[in-house]
């Protein structure tokens, strides 16, 4: 039976969080704190991000803003005029790396697109996400691309309604329990969890149980079920 497959982008189709992690490592070296370890600095940054995401959303530019705020909170020396600009530059470089498609993704999308209705569903800054989608060359496999501010149950219900999908044959495929799996199940559609070893810590969450939950080892395993 032809299914509706909503498919995540970052860390499902291509690498993403590894570049934020590298930027964070560069930030820690620049901060050069005398007592705080990188995990402790990361915890401080996470607290800032949790608050600021509600107002500013996701993306490299907002990550740079959050790191700058963290820097001002933790820096042990007098702040210099170019400090925040340097941190913004660290964040900007995230968007200038070559896009690295995860192994097996193009072949799997080619197979799935001939059998099912594919919709690319991603969250974040529309400009940044659109640029990555264009750079990836994968849009050809999808009937529609949808970029939302946040992936919560209401967002999934809106997509199902706007795209005129039948919930009983609709699935969300992604690497994030918090954004891809749990809210999709709560919204009444199926979910396929494709774990990624470097998923952002703020996307971690215990996966809720559900009759329409599938867990696969890698993206190409979707061909075994769809």
For 22-70, write each residue's pLDDT tens digit: 999 999 999 999 999 999 999 999 999 999 998 888 999 999 999 999 9
Is 4-14+100-224 a CATH 1.10.10.10 domain? no
Domain boundaries, the chain: 4-14+100-224, 17-96
Measured in whole angstroms, how far is the alpha carbon of residue 107 from the centre of its chain?
21
Question: Quick one: pLDDT at residue 1?
Answer: 87
Please give the span between the terminal C-alpha atoms of the chain, in angstroms, as a whole number: 9
Question: Quick one: pLDDT at residue 194?
Answer: 98
Structure tokens at 71: 């820097």
Structure tokens at 120: 């690319």
Question: Quick one: pLDDT at residue 97?
Answer: 87
Residues 6+ apart with CB under 8 A from 22: none
> Using CA atoms, how far apart are residues 226 and 222, in angstroms rounded to an integer?
6
Binning pLDDT at 50, 70 and 90, where does residue 144 land? very high
Question: Quick one: pLDDT at residue 211?
Answer: 84
Residues 6+ apart with CB under 8 A from 49: 63, 66, 202
pLDDT at 109 over 90: yes
Secondary structure class of 139 (helix, strand, coil): helix
- Let me know if the fold of 4-14+100-224 is the same as that of 17-96: no
Residues 6+ apart with CB under 8 A from 69: 48, 52
For the domain spanning 17-96, the CATH number is 1.10.150
**Which residue do the tokens 């992936």 mark?**
151
Binning pLDDT at 50, 70 and 90, where does residue 74 land? very high
> Using CA atoms, how far apart are residues 159 and 194, in angstroms rounded to an integer?
21
Q: What are phi and psi of 109, to 5 degrees?
A: -65, -40
Q: What percent of the chain has pLDDT over 90?
A: 94
Q: What is the mean pLDDT of residues 106-127?
A: 97
């Amino acid at each position: 039976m032809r299914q509706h497959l909503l498919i995540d982008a970052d860390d499902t189709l291509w690498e993403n969080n590894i570049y934020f992690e590298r930027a964070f490592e560069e930030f820690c070296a620049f901060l050069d704190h005398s007592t705080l370890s990188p995990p402790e600095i990361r915890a401080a940054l996470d607290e800032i991000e949790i608050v600021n995401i509600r107002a500013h959303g996701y993306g490299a530019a907002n990550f740079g803003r959050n790191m700058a705020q963290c820097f001002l909170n933790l820096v042990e020396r007098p702040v210099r005029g170019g400090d925040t600009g340097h941190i913004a530059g660290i964040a900007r470089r995230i968007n200038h790396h070559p896009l690295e498609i995860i192994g097996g993704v193009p072949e799997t999308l080619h197979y799935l697109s001939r059998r099912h209705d594919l919709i690319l569903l991603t969250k974040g800054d529309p400009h940044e996400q659109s640029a990555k989608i264009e750079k990836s060359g994968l849009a050809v496999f999808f009937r529609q691309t949808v970029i939302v501010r946040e992936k919560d149950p209401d967002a999934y219900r809106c997509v199902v309604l706007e795209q005129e999908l039948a919930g009983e044959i609709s699935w969300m495929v992604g690497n994030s329990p918090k954004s891809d799996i749990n809210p999709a199940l709560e919204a009444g559609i199926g979910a396929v969890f494709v774990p990624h070893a470097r998923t952002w810590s703020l996307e971690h969450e215990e996966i809720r149980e559900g009759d329409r939950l599938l867990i696969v080892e890698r993206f190409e395993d979707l061909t075994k079920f769809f």
